[in-house]
Amino acid sequence: MTDSMVAWDTTAIRRDMAARGWMATDLARASGKHASTVTLFLRGLSQTPKTAAAIARAMGYSPRRYLTKRDVA
């Protein structure tokens, strides 16, 4: 049996970053988060709704833009 779990689409975030010419440090500055927090988020190692919201706002979008589902066993 699997459960659906909310996850964040870091590929879409990276695509939006690339469109702006941003690196993780630029996103960190714009979102008000530490660079290490953004890097861990983008790697999928530490993804909190609060960080996702800050990143989405910095990119000019709603957090829903980056929501995805993943199945976990």
For the residues of 1-69, what is the DSSP string, one character each? Answer: --EEEEEE-HHHHHHHHHHHT--HHHHHHHHT--HHHHHHHHTTSS--HHHHHHHHHHHTS-GGGGEEE
What is the tens place of the pLDDT at every residue in 40-66? Answer: 999 999 999 999 999 999 999 999 999
- Which domains are assigned to the chain? 3-67 (1.10.260.40)
67, pLDDT greater than 50: yes
